[in-house]
Structure 1
């Protein structure tokens, strides 16, 4: 059966009338702050202590908007006769948010959990050159990162924790056996000494 002429127009007008009768959902920002989801992707926060200057985030960034500068320092030997080590020291860590496309690749590839999503979103500037934020600003945003969700109590235990627990239990059992053997040996020595004195 062919469609009735004008039925599409009638359907469109019906949608328009339904929408006109609904209450407006306009948010009064900035007078009223928006109600954001707890894990909203706003900006990237830097936890500087975890950064080892491996440059993985800068290499993987498709926009090349992460700038890292570092230098090497020599660390003295931890034990006498040991050798000196060298380590990277972070001098500059900056992200140009005028180039960033918020893909999150840098956060995903960071092997040391130094980068996190912060829900902060109010960082507009009047000059595009001021959208390059240095490590002090990135560190400020780090403190607004929400805590991770709690683990599901019904979830299966991670294999790493199970293996670590087995190793710890084995070491504790060996230590208990060694302590018991030491007590037994001390008791035998006291018995032998008592027999010798008698």
Structure 2
């Protein structure tokens, strides 16, 4: 993959004229690996001031659970960076205080296969934090369900869900904070579309 040169030029020029650029992504991992990915794509660091990922917003939502048990849903090793340094204990649903969804466990799954697990979460009245609100992604000519689809299914069954990424408030609140840090001043609040 390569960056689109016209998009990169627009961002660099905007910043050169005094604009502030905060990139937002629904990647359910901290922004540090996203920076490395952008470097590989050829996006110069002059194109942006800060990056906020849904992983960053998730980490903020997880902070109150330090030294407590969370129940993880998603590929078992892909999301280790999300939890790094937070002092969380990954464990069984019977001991957990929150369900954290980064994705479905396998690409060929649909949210309904989680019905037995969802029933257990609901029995325990567990809140859910969804680290990636995307519902589907295209992979070639296939649509693959993502964590957002499972979060919607949980909410439809009566579960309480906090969405960390776009288009929900936590990621935009963090983006505004980072933009103010980059600008060195308060900025007019930007409109939040799809606040939830």
* Fold similarity call, TM over 0.5: no
Larger of the two Rg values belongs to structure: 1
Q: Structure 2 length as normaliser, TM-score?
A: 0.23
Q: Structure 1 length as normaliser, TM-score?
A: 0.22
